């Protein structure tokens, strides 16, 4: 891990991403995929981002990289606000993404060498074909692929190997920051551990900083320094990984963590699963006030009237809940 763990690399301030949905009769309605999210990621750190499907995790990652233009809010990188096209182009030389699906994220018509070399071509990061070839082989060795794989096509590889190709492509620009969008969810469990360990090794070796998006809480705990929990476009809790597992404060975080399997049968029997009532609301028709109130056993009239402030309740532990002091 990096020695600069308390130096911010990326700062996200009140980020919003709203998509206008056509409702017919020339009417549109905003779908608030991300609605006022703020956090900081320090150099050399891994921030895990968790929540149910559809809560806005992937949209956060894509909006940070400006794959989607933010509706509002600010993204700061290394102390500089990303504002102009030049800022974003420069940022993309330092920040990349590993996508969820290794089957659809690789071009079937390109060889492995061309897939990995594409970012080198886009950013003109070599002076000769020999240098390009050397860099591609170096990237392949970083992720456990050998030189014989360079001339083959993506469909000839297993899911785990394809994801390694995707990771090598993400490393091509020599980035400082990588958004990992559920990078192991499409892989077999036995392969997941290998890929997670590789992320750890690459972080130590290359000084990388990760935003690690996932819904598997065991995976997130293994790789993350801190964990943020999202619900319906809002961030509801953020704390150190150990702190959030041992002392979750938000009712939603408690429910999520109660579902994590425990290998010890005695502890597993003693643990009480917290079942949530009802379905997750649509972000098109989000509840007023706290978005979780329709499924929360502690909800009051205040929860319906106003959104709770996302505030620090103890050192480094942030939570958005009106009743945080009463229900813990």
So what's the pLDDT on residue 1? 42
Strand spans (E) along 25-125? 27-42, 46-50, 72-77, 80-81, 95-98
Distance CA 272, CA 280 (A): 22
Q: Which two tokens stand for residue 80?
A: 């500089």
Phi, psi of 247 (to 5 degrees): -140, 65
pLDDT tens-digit series, residues 132-185: 999 999 999 999 999 999 999 989 999 899 999 999 999 999 999 999 999 988
39 with 48: CB under 8 angstroms?
A: no
Distance CA 51, CA 233 (A): 10
Paired sense of beta strands 226-231 and 46-50, if any = parallel
List alpha helices for the chain, DSSP H: 57-64, 85-91, 112-122, 129-142, 159-171, 189-206, 217-223, 241-246, 251-258, 265-270, 301-305
Q: Which two tokens stand for residue 273?
A: 């699963």
CATH 3.40.50.300 in the chain, residue ranges: 8-94+176-319
51 with 60: CB under 8 angstroms?
A: no
Distance CA 238, CA 124 (A): 39
Distance CA 283, CA 33 (A): 7
Q: Which residues, including other chains, have CB under 8 Å from residue 242's CB and lie 6 or more apart?
A: none
Fold of 8-94+176-319: Rossmann fold (3.40.50)
For residue 23, what pLDDT band results from cuts at 50, 70 and 90?
confident
So what's the pLDDT on residue 268? 56
318 with 311: CB under 8 angstroms?
A: yes
Question: pTM value?
Answer: 0.92
Average pLDDT over residues 106-115: 93
Indicate whether 70 pLDDT > 70.
Answer: yes
Distance CA 254, CA 165 (A): 36
Indicate whether 98 pLDDT > 90.
Answer: yes
283 with 292: CB under 8 angstroms?
A: no
Q: Which two tokens stand for residue 79?
A: 């102390």
For residue 2, what pLDDT band results from cuts at 50, 70 and 90?
very low
Distance CA 53, CA 59 (A): 11
Average pLDDT over residues 25-29: 87
Of the candidates 273, 226, 256, the one whose C-alpha atom is nearest the C-alpha of residue 48 is 226
Mean pLDDT score of the chain, rounded to an integer?
A: 90
What's the distance, Cα to Cα, between the start and end of the chain in Å?
33
């Amino acid at each position: 891990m990096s020695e600069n763990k308390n130096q911010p690399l990326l700062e996200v301030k009140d980020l919003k991403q709203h998509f206008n949905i056509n409702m017919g009769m020339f009417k549109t309605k905003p779908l608030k995929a991300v609605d006022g999210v703020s956090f900081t990621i320090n150099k050399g750190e891994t921030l895990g981002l968790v929540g149910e499907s559809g809560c806005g995790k992937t949209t956060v990652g894509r909006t940070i990289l400006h794959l989607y233009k933010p509706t509002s809010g600010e993204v700061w990188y290394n102390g500089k606000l990303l504002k102009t096209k030049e800022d974003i182009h420069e940022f993309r030389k330092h920040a990349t993404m590993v996508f969820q699906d290794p089957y659809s994220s690789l071009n079937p018509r390109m060889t492995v060498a061309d897939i990995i070399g594409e970012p080198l071509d886009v950013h003109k990061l070599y002076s000769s074909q020999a240098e390009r070839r050397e860099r591609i082989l170096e990237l392949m060795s970083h992720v456990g692929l050998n030189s014989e794989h360079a001339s083959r096509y993506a469909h000839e590889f297993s899911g785990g190997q394809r994801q390694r190709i995707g990771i090598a492509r993400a490393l091509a620009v020599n980035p400082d920051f990588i958004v990992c969008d559920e990078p192991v969810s499409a892989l077999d469990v036995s392969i997941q551990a290998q890929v997670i360990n590789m992320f750890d090794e690459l972080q130590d070796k290359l000084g990388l900083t990760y935003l690690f998006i996932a819904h598997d809480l065991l995976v997130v705990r293994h790789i993350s320094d801190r964990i943020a929990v999202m619900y319906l476009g809002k961030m509801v809790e953020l704390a150190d990984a150990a702190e959030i597992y041992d002392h979750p404060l938000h009712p939603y975080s408690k429910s999520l963590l109660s579902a994590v399997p425990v290998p010890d049968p005695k502890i597993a029997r003693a643990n009480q699963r917290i079942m949530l009532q009802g379905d997750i609301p649509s972000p098109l028709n989000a509840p007023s006030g706290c978005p979780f109130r329709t499924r929360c056993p502690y909800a009051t009239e205040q929860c319906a009237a106003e959104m709770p402030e996302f505030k620090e309740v103890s050192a480094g532990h942030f939570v958005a809940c009106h009743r945080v002091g009463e229900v813990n």
